[in-house]
């Protein structure tokens, strides 16, 4: 097989290495996390390597290492607290692991409907927000006509619905509406969208490939083989461009009557709004190293790490140990 990439594939130091996103304030626009997906295996690729963990912090520290297939694990609230109060999560339909398997918590409460007054999934929505870069676009995901709620994904800016005033929106299918203080009951959220890698209807977990995540791969283009942006040219500095806005239990809602922070709701294929109860980045069963202590002034080596396409290496530590993934990528056959 042809080698696509080799050498140091990822390098990360928890509490020191940083990520950024579009919602962080300019005076403090980076976050140094304790855990991160430091590497994701690209499309049509097999990665084989080993992880070195070096500790010279002055004391022993515990580490986690996981092989994961998501950026965020969204735990839904108990079934009884969901719409309809079902007995379990099997009532809810969320497509997964396909190019059309999206979910989103980004929603607009619309006013002043005009044009065709209808919106179809996949249409492009356009508007202008001078505060955040001017021209804005998003993809329409679901139209709840009975409640006047338009659900969106693929926002061009995470704060695109934090509007400076009355704003007119136009869809590529001819629908129009307005949002702002002149239109009572209108609002918009700063939510999240992405591909659903897997929906576990037994436990109520959504394994999300968050569009607002970037390591060596831009997650907004996962599954798009022709346009997928990935770093494969042995340019390790380019792999330091970390971008992430983790899903949180509450999201910001912008409205003329004042901003609020309601519990985050993700929508299923049938328009059911599902309440969230907690968020994590890895589950226990995904960890291959769980709470292992690394003594000061030592290096631990973990060999035999193998990842298939879109599997990721997750690392976590409460201190500044250094994780280094060394290995190589090979072109792999993709099941058709």
- Per-residue pLDDT tens digits for 108-150: 999 999 998 889 999 999 999 999 989 999 999 999 999 999 9
Q: Tell me whether residue 211 is in a domain.
A: no
What are the tokens at 293? 């202590």
CB-neighbour burial class of residue 313 (10 A; exposed 0-12, middle 13-18, buried 19+): buried
Instruction: Please give the angle made by the CA atoms of 332, 39 and 160, to the nearest 5 degrees.
Output: 110
Q: Which pLDDT band, with edges at 50, 70 and 90, does 237 fall under?
A: low
Classify the C-alpha dihedral 266-227-323-30 as positive or negative: negative
- The owner of tokens 């509007």 is 163
Give residue 133's domain range.
Answer: 74-195+245-280
Both ends of the chain: CA-CA distance in Å?
Answer: 19
Which has more pLDDT, 102 or 241? 102
In the prediction, which pLDDT does 232 show? 61
Q: Tell me whether residue 188 is in a domain.
A: yes
**Mapping DSSP to helix (H, G, I), strand (E, B) and coil, where does residue 220 land?**
helix
Find how far residue 52's CA is from the centre of its chain: 27
Q: Tell me whether residue 263 is in a domain.
A: yes
49-98: per-residue pLDDT in tens?
999 999 999 999 999 999 999 999 999 999 999 999 999 999 999 988 77
pTM for the model: 0.94
Residue 234 has pLDDT above 70, yes or no: no
Q: Tell me whether residue 64 is in a domain.
A: no
In the prediction, which pLDDT does 51 show? 98
What is the share, in percent, of the chain residues with pLDDT greater than 70? 95
Residue 276 has pLDDT above 50, yes or no: yes
**Mapping DSSP to helix (H, G, I), strand (E, B) and coil, where does residue 284 land?**
helix
Q: In sequence order, what are the residues at sequence separation of 6 or more whose Cβ sits closer than 8 angstroms to the Cβ of residue 300?
A: 52, 53, 55, 63, 292, 294
In the prediction, which pLDDT does 2 show? 59
Residue 270 has pLDDT above 80, yes or no: yes
How many residues are recorded in the chain?
336
Domains of the chain: total: 1
285-306: per-residue pLDDT in tens?
999 999 999 999 999 999 999 9
Question: What does the mean pLDDT of the chain come to?
Answer: 93
191-207: per-residue pLDDT in tens?
999 999 999 999 999 99
In the prediction, which pLDDT does 334 show? 66
Q: Tell me whether residue 169 is in a domain.
A: yes
Q: Tell me whether residue 146 is in a domain.
A: yes
Residue 102 has pLDDT above 70, yes or no: yes
Q: Which residues pair with 104 in a beta bridge?
A: 193
Residue 248 has pLDDT above 90, yes or no: yes
In the prediction, which pLDDT does 1 show? 46
318-336: per-residue pLDDT in tens?
999 999 999 999 988 765 5
Q: Tell me whether residue 25 is in a domain.
A: no
Q: Tell me whether residue 117 is in a domain.
A: yes
- The owner of tokens 């129009």 is 176
């Amino acid at each position: 097989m042809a080698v696509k990439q080799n050498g140091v594939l990822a390098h990360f130091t928890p509490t020191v290495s940083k990520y950024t996103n579009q919602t962080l304030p300019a005076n403090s626009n980076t976050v140094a996390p304790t855990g991160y997906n430091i590497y994701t295996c690209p499309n049509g690729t097999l990665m084989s390597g080993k992880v070195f963990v070096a500790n010279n912090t002055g004391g022993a520290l515990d580490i986690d290492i996981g092989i994961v297939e998501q950026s965020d694990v969204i735990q839904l609230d108990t079934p009884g607290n969901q719409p309809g109060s079902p007995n379990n999560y099997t009532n809810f339909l969320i497509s997964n692991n396909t190019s059309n398997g999206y979910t989103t918590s980004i929603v607009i409460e619309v006013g002043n409907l005009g044009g065709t007054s209808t919106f179809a999934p996949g249409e492009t929505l356009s508007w202008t927000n001078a505060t955040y870069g001017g021209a804005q676009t998003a993809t329409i995901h679901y139209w709840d006509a009975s409640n006047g709620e338009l659900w969106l994904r693929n926002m061009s800016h995470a704060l695109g619905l934090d509007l400076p005033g009355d704003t007119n929106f136009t869809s590529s299918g001819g629908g129009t509406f307005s949002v702002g203080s002149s239109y009572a009951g209108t609002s918009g959220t700063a939510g999240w969208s992405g591909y659903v890698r897997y929906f576990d209807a037994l436990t109520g977990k959504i394994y999300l490939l968050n569009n607002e995540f970037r390591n060596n791969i831009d997650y907004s283009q996962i599954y798009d083989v022709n346009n997928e942006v990935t770093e494969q040219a042995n340019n390790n500095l380019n792999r330091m461009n970390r971008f992430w806005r983790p899903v949180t239990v509450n999201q910001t809602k912008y409205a003329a009557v004042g901003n609020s922070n309601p519990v985050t709701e993700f929508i299923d294929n049938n328009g059911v709004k599902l309440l969230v109860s907690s968020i994590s980045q890895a589950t226990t069963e995904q960890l291959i190293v769980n709470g292992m202590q690394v003594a000061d002034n030592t290096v631990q080596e973990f060999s035999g790490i193998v990842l298939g396409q879109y599997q990721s290496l997750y690392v976590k530590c409460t201190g500044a140990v250094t994780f280094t993934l060394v290995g190589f990528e090979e072109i792999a056959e993709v099941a058709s």
